[in-house]
Amino acid sequence: MELRQLQYFVKVARKQHVTQAAEEMHVAQSAVSRQIHLLEEELGVNLFVQKGRNLHLTSVGHLFLSRIEGILTDLERAVGEMHEFLDPEAGEIRIGFPHSLVINLLPAVVASFKKDHPNVKFRLRQGTYASLIRDVTRGEIDLAFISPFPESHEHVSGEILLTEELYAIIPSNHILAEYTSIRLEQLKHESFVMFSEEYTLRAIVMEACLKAGFVPKIEFEGEETDTIRGLVAAGMGVSLLPSMALIEGGQMQPTKIRVTDPQVTRTVGLICRKGEKLPLVAEVFRRFLYEYFQ
């Protein structure tokens, strides 16, 4: 059994497709297929079953994957620790983040950290709330910015870095555009532009609207803050966004107004895998972040 076979197996299991797995690993499809076949022959079991154009794990394939992912994660961590031992300032930090933090926050903190640690590399992964927790739990990333911060979780732990206010955004020609603050109730008859259901910002906005006594009428859904801002600026509805997602850019910008009743906020935290020691360079970055946000 070779390391290459195990790496191919995990990639195919995640992609459920040999061609896509081969393209991502920059190897020939035939090479991936052959190594998977050899692995199944050595184990004496079928790890995959064909369903349409996709490959699905068999029951024993799921069991094998759960063990192999842990082994490969430990191996990757061991190699990283060896490199850090030789030169801690030349290590790599694997960090995840939600889309709403990439506009301003993440570039700022990384740039600040790199001033004193110029040789440290970053491997960045964008994700949703659920996928970031999953990737930290699996050991695929060392740290993750996350919002809202999970106060209690079986597999991850961390601390809140900041609490951020959400603002109402409306078209610039809206009747409320001259106001400096509004009650959320004043938007109850408006059409809303919302994030899709897998994004936690949607849940925060929905909860705030319910507290204000109404269920928002959702006209459009999107997956990026730029899309939400653009639709609102074009007069397609109203929305609520965190302040760091309202960095001005481009000609079409909505009007930003503070919401006072109820005040709407979100927590932004940093998580890692519970009960596990971080790689040295990631621990240095974690401490830097706590000091940065103090």
DSSP letter, residue 224: S
Q: What is the pTM of this model?
A: 0.69
User: Which of 37-51, 62-76, 209-223, 246-260 comes out lowest in average pLDDT?
Assistant: 246-260
Q: Among 97-101, 111-115, 180-184, which is the least confidently predicted range?
A: 97-101
How much is the pLDDT for 276? 84
Kindly report the backbone phi and psi dihedral angles of residue 168, in degrees, each rounded to the nearest multiple of 5, phi listed first: -75, 140
For residues 100 and 63, which has the higher predicted lDDT (pLDDT)?
63
Q: Which fold has domain 3-77?
A: Arc Repressor Mutant, subunit A (1.10.10)
Does the fold of domain 164-265 match that of domain 87-162+268-293?
Answer: yes
C-alpha to C-alpha distance for 197 and 201, rounded to whole angstroms = 9
The pLDDT of residue 250 is 57
- CATH no., domain 164-265: 3.40.190.290
At 84, is the pLDDT very low, low, confident or very high (cuts 50, 70, 90)? low
CB atoms within 10 A of CB 72: 17
Q: Side chain identity at 236, as an amino acid letter?
A: M
> What pLDDT, on a 0 to 100 scale, did the predictor assign at position 239?
96
Helices (H), the chain: 3-15, 18-25, 29-43, 59-86, 105-116, 129-138, 200-211, 225-233, 280-293
Residue pair 258/180 in contact (Cβ under 8 Å)? The answer is yes
Specify the CATH number of the domain 87-162+268-293.
3.40.190.10
Q: End-to-end distance of the chain based on CA atoms, in angstroms?
A: 50
DSSP label of 246:
-
**pLDDT at residue number 2:** 85
CA pair distance 187, 179, nearest whole angstrom:
13
DSSP 149: -
DSSP one-letter string for 162-176? EEEEEEEEE-TTSTT
Half-sphere exposure of 220 (CA within 13 A, CB side): 17
Question: Per residue in 178-233, pLDDT tens?
Answer: 999 999 999 999 999 999 988 999 999 999 999 999 999 999 998 888 889 999 99
Name the pLDDT band for 265 (thresholds 50, 70, 90).
very high
DSSP string, 54-120: EEEE-HHHHHHHHHHHHHHHHHHHHHHHHHHHH-GGG-EEEEEE-GGGTTTHHHHHHHHHHHH-TT-
- Where are the domains positioned within the chain? 3-77, 87-162+268-293, 164-265
Confidence tier at 88 by pLDDT (50, 70, 90): low
The winner for highest mean pLDDT among 40-54, 160-174, 247-261 is 160-174
Q: What is the pLDDT of residue 4?
A: 87
pLDDT band, residue 124 (cuts 50/70/90): very high
State the chain's mean pLDDT as an integer.
89
